[in-house]
Amino acid sequence: MKKALIVAVISSFLSLILCQPYAPYAKASDYEMDSVITPAESLFKALHQKDYPKIWTCLSVKSRDTIVSDTCAAIKSSSCSKASVSDDFTRGGTLSMAYWDAYLKHFNPVMVLEESRWEMGSVKDDRAEIIITYKKAQKPATLRMIREDGIWRVGLTESFWSRK
């Protein structure tokens, strides 16, 4: 009986220690962590719900610009207006639906929302990182967050697009 109790106490203690964030990540306050993580979670929820206008509001300016440019390049039309493509994504129009539906054929946001561990990475000025580890992954993904006009936004292209 004593052995079982000792093992239970040690197991509980180890799980508490192992579940704590790595020291450099612990520097962010709870409020700061919440203000960074909530917008990221909102993006993945919007993707899951196929709320196209909400997805767009969660993204950094650079991510939106990259997606608009990539979409115009894919259309391969000299009459493609970046302003009209941006407006379509803002409204959740036809281009936006086609883009995000194709994106969701290769990415399941439930993996991130329900089957991954989230940890705060570094937070410096207007940049932050969230470390997301999928339960079956060997390496975590780093989601880059950018504070723009006082609001944290997801740097989707900054995090996952290959550099050109």
The CA dihedral of 111, 117, 120, 121, to the nearest 10 degrees, is -80
Tell me the whole-structure pTM to 2 decimals. 0.78
Task: Dig out the tokens for 19 from the structure.
Answer: 């579940």
Token pair, residue 133, equals 């580890």
The C-alpha atoms of residue 128 and residue 141 are separated, in whole angstroms, by 13
Q: How confident is the model at residue 21 (pLDDT cuts 50, 70, 90)?
A: very low
Domains of the chain: which residue ranges? 30-160
Residue ranges of alpha helices (H) inside the chain are 2-18, 30-49, 52-58, 61-75, 82-91, 94-106, 109-114, 156-160
Q: Point out which residues pair with 146 in neighbouring strands.
A: 127, 153
pLDDT tens-digit map of 89-127: 999 999 999 999 999 999 999 999 999 999 999 999 999
pLDDT tens by residue, 65-82: 999 999 999 988 878 899
Q: Check: CATH 3.30.230 for 30-160?
A: no
